[in-house]
C-alpha cells in the first residue's frame, strides 16, 4: 500500500482575504533568504540630473515585504506540497 501524498491545505484569515494591491514585484536574495517586495508605483516626477540633463524617476512604495528561506523557493510551478 502506498503512503498518502501530503499537501498544504492553505487557509487565509478573514482580515486578509481582500489582499493588498501591488503593481510591482521586486525580488532579491542573499545566501540566507529571498525577499519579495510588493509595491505600488507613484506618478513619475521630472527632475534635473547631476549632469544637467532631465531624468524621470518613478517612485514606488512597498506595501508588503515577504522573506522566505531559499529551500522554499522553487523554479517549478505546481500545487504546494510538503517536504519531509
Give a yes or no: residue 82 inside a domain. Answer: no
Name the domain count of the chain. Answer: 1
Q: What is the pLDDT of residues 3-34, one digit of tens each?
A: 899 888 989 999 999 999 999 999 999 999 99
- Enumerate the β-bridge partners of residue 54: 48
DSSP 26: E
In a domain? residue 24? yes
In a domain, residue 83? The reply is no
Termini Cα distance of the chain: 19
The pLDDT score that the predictor gives to residue 75 is: 64
Whether 57 maps to a domain, the answer reads: yes
Q: How confident is the model over 23-67, as pLDDT tens digits?
A: 999 999 999 999 999 999 989 988 888 999 999 988 999 999 999
Distance separating alpha carbons of residues 58 and 46, to the nearest angstrom: 9
Asked if residue 26 belongs to a domain, the reply is yes
Nearest to 24 by CA among 59, 72, 76, 54: 59
Domain annotation covers residue 71: no
What's the domain range around 35? 19-61
The answer, as to whether pTM is greater than 0.85, is: no
Amino acid at each position: 500500500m502506498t503512503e498518502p501524498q501530503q499537501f498544504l491545505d492553505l487557509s487565509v484569515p478573514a482580515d486578509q482575504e481582500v489582499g493588498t494591491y501591488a503593481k510591482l514585484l521586486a525580488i532579491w536574495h542573499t545566501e540566507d533568504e529571498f525577499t519579495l517586495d510588493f509595491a505600488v508605483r507613484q506618478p513619475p516626477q521630472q527632475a534635473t540630473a547631476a549632469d544637467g540633463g532631465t531624468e524621470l524617476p518613478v517612485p514606488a512604495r512597498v506595501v508588503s515585504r515577504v522573506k522566505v528561506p531559499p529551500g522554499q523557493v522553487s523554479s517549478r510551478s505546481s500545487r504546494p506540497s510538503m517536504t519531509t
